[in-house]
Amino acid sequence: MPNLSTPNETSSELNLLSVYLPADLNHHEVAEKLNMPLKKGIEASFYAEIIEEDSHRFLFFTQFDVITFINWPKESVNEALTKLGLAEPYTQATLYQDYQILLNANASAPFHVDNNRIEIRELSLWPLMIVALVIAQSVGLEKFEKEVDRFYTKGRNMVENSSRLGWVKRHHFTDYAIELSLLRHDMVLDLMLLDKPNILWDNETYESLYNRLAELLDLQERFEVVSYKLNVLKEDMTMMIDLHQHKHSSFLEWIIIVLILVEVFMGLWEMFFKH
C-alpha cells in the first residue's frame, strides 16, 4: 500500500491530464524513459511524486497504457510524452481527457465531483491516485469504444458483400471472428475495467469517491454498450460463417452428384456404344 502524503501546497487549483499511449509499455520502461522511479499503487497503477521548490507534481501510470499527469506544466507534459514515443501533439495523435482539481480546505465534505471539475479538501496521494485511476479507466474504455466502432464498420461491409464473397475467401469471416474475441479479451484483461480496488473497501470516503467518479463517467453503462456491440458482431459473424459453410457443403454435394452422373454416363456409353 502506498504511503499517504500530505504536502504543503499553496496552489488551490491543479490540472489533470490522462493520455493513452499507443506504444505498449510496461512501468519499468516508462520509469527508464522518464528517468523517474515508479512505486506500486492500487491495482494496476504505479505512481511517482515529484517535490520541487516551486511545485508538487504527481505521475500515475496504469498497465493498460494510460499515463496521468497532475499539476504538470504543459511543456513538461509534452517533453515526457515525446520521451515515451508520442512525437505528435497528444491532442491530435491520441485519446486524452483532462479535468480541473480544486483544493478547498474549507469544504464541508472530503470531496465533490461534477461535470466540470473535481474538488477535494486536502492535497494527498490517495484521493489523487483514485481520481487518476478512474479517469485512466475512462480513457482506456474510450480506446475500446473507438476500436469497436471501427470493427462495426468493417463488419457491416463484410456482411453487405458476403453474397459476392467467393468460398476461397471465406476464411476472412473466421479471421474477423477471432479478432473480435481477442478484442473482447483485451478489454476485460487489459483494462480490468470495472474492478473496484479491494483496498478501497477499508475506507468509506475513498470508496465513495471512486463510485462517484465511475458513475459520473458512466463506466458501467459504457462498458455494457461495448460488450453488447461485441456480442452482436460476433453473432453476425458466426451466422455468416455458418451460411457460407452451408453453401460450401452444398457446392461439394453438387460436385459429388455431377461426378456420379459422369460415372453413370461413362458406364452407359461403354455398355451400349463401345461394344
| pLDDT tens, residue by residue, 132-148 | 999 999 998 999 888 88
CB-count burial class (<10 Å; 0-12, 13-18, 19+) for 196: middle
Same domain assignment for residues 230 and 152: yes
Same domain assignment for residues 151 and 90: no
- List CB contacts of 77: < 8 A, sequence separation 6 or more: 17, 69, 90
pLDDT exceeds cutoff 60 at 193: no
pLDDT exceeds cutoff 70 at 5: no
Per mean pLDDT, which of 123-132, 188-197, 249-258 is the most reliable? 123-132
Question: Average pLDDT, stretch 116-130?
Answer: 87
Task: Note down the domain range covering 187.
Answer: 134-247
Q: Which of 122, 156, 173 is the last residue of a domain?
A: 122
C-alpha distances (whole Å) from 72 to each of 15, 53, 78, 115 are 7, 14, 10, 22
Our count of domains for the chain comes to 2
The pTM of the full predicted model, rounded to 2 decimals, is: 0.77
Using the structure block, give the residue that is written with the C-alpha cell 474477423: 176
pLDDT band at 54 (very low <50, low <70, confident <90, very high): confident
Q: Which three cell numbers stand for residue 25?
A: 509499455
Q: Which of 72, 99, 122 is the last residue of a domain?
A: 122
Same domain assignment for residues 145 and 103: no
Q: Give a yes or no: residue 1 inside a domain.
A: no
Question: Average pLDDT, stretch 21-33?
Answer: 92
Q: What is the mean pLDDT of the chain?
A: 81
Report the helix count and the strand count for the chain, using DSSP H and E.
Answer: 7, 8
pLDDT exceeds cutoff 70 at 197: yes
pLDDT of residue 164: 57
